[in-house]
Chain A
């Protein structure tokens, strides 16, 4: 028979907390879990009263718990938040269609509005179609890059400037370790931050935050279990990321031996972030910090478009103004079919180029990439994709590069990006894809 709860001393304990070995009963555990999320929110001043906040909802345990807890805390503590569920439909039959049913039920259960945005609407491709073309290997890159933009675009379309995601302490520890193992300090510092944002030239400056950053995955799963939350759990039917899988296994193995390891890695990540020189870890200008609710919060700007795949979007994000730019892209294609050069549109997007075939390989002058010691630290400077206007440190954002490859039936150029994150590889990929620029447009035209 389990011992009594160390907090209330009366009920039967149901959980040993990984962070401090406290033995808690069901009621005390649920209370303590919610109180800790509330503390994370208030300490970091994540929200302001009346803020519209979109919850990135997948139907999985993390986002389901996040939605439930935020709904509870919003009522209990009078945050005054206007909460909305935002789901991305990647178009994966047998996986996302089922989890979306869960999100739809959650919307009813928590009485929250739901917006679903599909890859088909945004990119003209479902992930099933992408996999059909590129194969199971490397498809996670497409999904990761597309999803990152999709959440921002969805938020923008709802007039929401803050997206919260269900990333938990285990996810953050995993990503900290991955970036440590890759020697990628700039990304490590972004990963460790609870709030990230993208400086965008447009009005759509979307903030991302992770209210469950300090919550153990174990406690999230047990919270869902003891609260009888309705969540969907199955692995994506397409290939998992091997490297993330290894980091995940390492984290779980460490937890078994020493449960506090997970929060210790998260804290180490935060401490290491402070050691990353400002020149490689772009931070918000001081004027912006207060705007993002709280003097003690530093917003880390994130120009990462995501080379990782599923689950690697730990608050790394970009801001978008995509709907307009997609319209622009279509205009480009119309222009191309009428014999006009794409350069007309490129110029109108504010990036002077001498024609699309050259422009693809050339970075705008305001984009700088610095390399030290070969694979060393690189500085990212905000620019906009000259195709779609999405925030990008490259001349053309990754989504557009990937889309171009897809639309041309030439996926190889983009698969190379997944194997190495080196920007030079991307350049090579870009150089390859330029050759058939016009052909792409014709193909794209017929696809649309």
Chain B
């Protein structure tokens, strides 16, 4: 029973989310954000990166240019995602289920060099 109350919809997962490579400009020019996201997504599944991205778009991003961050319901191609400093491709990409204390870094490769 205790397990069940732990995972009810009110539960949140604390995470550190970072933006760099120019992406920070879409997030109030701030690179590092401590956020808490719901432990369950809209359909009641464990929150994954795809949900995190939608959540950030709706709740953290003040800039209206959502398409610079999100495309086809996932991270826009050209933006690298590092989960605890490892390529998200090693972790199942946007299906990775976020865990308490995770550090998720979004790095744009699209900006000028």
Which positions in A face B, CB cutoff 8 Å? Answer: 2-3, 12-16, 23, 58, 60-64, 166, 168, 170, 217-218, 220-222, 225, 233-236, 248-249, 252-253, 255-256, 310-311
Residues of A within 8 Å of B60, CB to CB, are: none
Please determine whether A233 and B87 come into contact, CB atoms closer than 8 angstroms.
Answer: no
Please determine whether B107 and A221 come into contact, CB atoms closer than 8 angstroms.
Answer: yes
Does chain A have a CB within 8 A of B7?
no
A253–B72 Cα gap in the complex (Å)?
Answer: 11
Please determine whether B86 and A61 come into contact, CB atoms closer than 8 angstroms.
Answer: no
Please determine whether B80 and A166 come into contact, CB atoms closer than 8 angstroms.
Answer: no
A221–B78 Cα gap in the complex (Å)?
Answer: 11
Please determine whether A221 and B80 come into contact, CB atoms closer than 8 angstroms.
Answer: yes
Q: A61-B21, A233-B22 are in contact. Are A311 and B87 (CB under 8 A)?
A: no
| 10 smallest beta-carbon distances between A and B, as pairs | A60-B113, A62-B113, A252-B78, A252-B77, A16-B89, A2-B90, A233-B22, A256-B77, A2-B86, A233-B111
Residues of A within 8 Å of B108, CB to CB, are: 233
Does chain A have a CB within 8 A of B85?
yes
Chain B residue nearest to A65 in the complex (CB): B113
Does chain A have a CB within 8 A of B109?
yes
Given contacts A60-B113, A221-B107, A234-B25, 14 further A-B contacts (CB under 8 A): A2-B86, A13-B86, A14-B90, A15-B87, A58-B113, A168-B113, A221-B80, A221-B109, A225-B20, A225-B82, A233-B108, A235-B111, A248-B78, A255-B77
Does chain A have a CB within 8 A of B11?
no
Please determine whether A248 and B90 come into contact, CB atoms closer than 8 angstroms.
Answer: no
Please determine whether B80 and A218 come into contact, CB atoms closer than 8 angstroms.
Answer: yes
Q: A12-B86, A13-B90 are in contact. Are A236 and B113 (CB under 8 A)?
A: no
A429–B77 Cα gap in the complex (Å)?
Answer: 40
Residues of A within 8 Å of B22, CB to CB, are: 233-235
Instruction: Please give the distance in Å from B89's CB to the nearest CB on chain A.
Output: 4
Residues of B within 8 Å of A64, CB to CB, are: 113
Q: Which of A23, A222, A311 contacts B80 (CB 8 A)?
A: A222
Does chain A have a CB within 8 A of B91?
yes
Instruction: Please give the distance in Å from A149's CB to the nearest CB on chain B.
Output: 20
Instruction: Please give the distance in Å from A61's CB to the nearest CB on chain B.
Output: 5
Does chain A have a CB within 8 A of B35?
no
Q: Which of B19-37 contact A (CB under 8 A)?
A: 20-22, 25
Instruction: Please give the distance in Å from B79's CB to the nearest CB on chain A.
Output: 9
Please determine whether B111 and A2 come into contact, CB atoms closer than 8 angstroms.
Answer: no
A248–B77 Cα gap in the complex (Å)?
Answer: 10
Residues of B within 8 Å of A311, CB to CB, are: 112-113
Residues of B within 8 Å of A236, CB to CB, are: 112
Q: Which of B86-113 contact A (CB under 8 A)?
A: 86-87, 89-91, 107-113
A12–B91 Cα gap in the complex (Å)?
Answer: 12
Please determine whether B86 and A14 come into contact, CB atoms closer than 8 angstroms.
Answer: yes
Chain B residue nearest to A240 in the complex (CB): B112
Chain B residue nearest to A234 in the complex (CB): B22
Instruction: Please give the distance in Å from A243's CB to the nearest CB on chain B.
Output: 16
A310–B113 Cα gap in the complex (Å)?
Answer: 10
Chain B residue nearest to A25 in the complex (CB): B86
